[in-house]
Structures are given as C-alpha cells and as structure tokens.
Amino acid sequence: MTTIAERGRRLEPDKRRAQILSCAVRLFGSGPYAAVSTSDIAAAAGVARGLINHYFGTKRDLYIEAVRVLVTIPAVAVEQLPDGDLRTRVDASVTWFLDVVSRHSSSWLAAVDAGDPDVRRVLAEADEVAAASILTALGLADTGAHRAIMRAYCGLAKATAREWLERDALDRDRAHAVLATTLTSLVREVFA
C-alpha cells in the first residue's frame, strides 16, 4: 500500500513502477477489470495518470503485468528457503505459497479464474516458472517428465487454494497438509 510519504515524493523509477504495480494488484483484485480505471490506480498510488502510461502503456498492459507479478514465483522466494531436509524445504515452500495467496486472495482468485487468453498465457508461463522453482527448491533434476509432474502439482496447488479461500471447504492447516504431503510423496515415490 502506498504510504503518505511516498505520495508526491520523487522515487527512483523502479520503486515508482513497483508502487504503481502494487496498487494495481490490489485494485484489480477488489473489483472486476472494467470497474478499475487508470485514474483509480493513479489516485491510489498518488501519481499522475500519465505515469501509468509511461511505465506500463495501456490499462490492459498494466493488468497483464499485475497478473504476472501476482502468479509468478520470484527467484528470491526459492533463494530464501531454509536449508534442510526434504520435509523442511517442502514445508517452507508450501507455507510461502499459502502466505502469498492468502495475502492477495481476491487478486489471486480473480487472476487464476480469468478466461482471458492473455491471462491464460501468463498463467501457463507462471506454471512453468513454478515447476522449475519447485524442482530447484527440492534439488531435483529439471527433466521433461519431472517438469510435467510439477505442472500437475501446480494444478493441485491452485485447486487446493480455491477450496480454502473461495469455497471455505478446507482450513489453512488442512490445505497445507494436502500440499505438503502430496509433494513429499511425489518426491519420495514418483521421482525415486
């Protein structure tokens, strides 16, 4: 969220871009795409509307970038996982995922449920990044078969998060147990 100190203050271009993107993620998650204007985003970020066009182009370009940021695992998330055995790394990975989707639940659910072809392309790219990131985090070879299994696991992760966040059929502890147990079993029984 934009702080009062950031409004109207000159920020480095990367920080200003990140600030606008953060506001866009929040606003696109709070209502339908059509209901969010670039003026709304500019006001939330405390910037002139022209800066949004300068950094992102069109509203649609900003939306696609907001979805990309929201659904793609950053490299730093893998780098910051604790050292340890399989259980420790799996637990930390699942905890990270559940923290992210709960913190941005409205935005995340809107993104993964979108039927837009450009958003589906971004989601497919994010699944590739997630599959590679999980393999790296667990010290597994990134082969075609391994990547396919991890993409399938990503589908399970999204469905499990929906059951928790949208349908309220699972609580967080049960969602964590489903994802951690499944990933551990995949590594021990399928990858072995």
Pick from 37, 56, 39: nearest CA to 47: 39
**Residue at 47: amino acid letter:** V
Pick from 66, 42, 65, 64: nearest CA to 52: 42
The confidence score (pLDDT) of residue 4 equals 45
Question: CA angle, corner 3, sides to 102 and 20, nearest 5?
Answer: 70
CA–CA distance, 7 with 11 (Å, rounded to integer):
9
| Whether the predicted pLDDT of 180 surpasses 90 | yes
CA–CA distance, 18 with 25 (Å, rounded to integer):
10
CA–CA distance, 135 with 138 (Å, rounded to integer):
5
pLDDT digit string, tens, across residues 48-75:
999 999 999 999 999 999 999 989 999 9
pLDDT digit string, tens, across residues 116-170:
899 999 999 999 999 999 999 999 999 999 999 999 999 999 999 999 999 999 9
- What is the residue-averaged pLDDT of the chain? 92
CA distances from 150 to 79, 89, 127 (A): 19, 15, 9
State phi, psi for 128 to the nearest 5 degrees.
-65, -45
| Whether the predicted pLDDT of 92 surpasses 90 | yes
Which pTM value belongs to this model?
A: 0.85
**Structural domains in the chain plus CATH codes:** 13-68 (1.10.10.60), 72-190 (1.10.357)
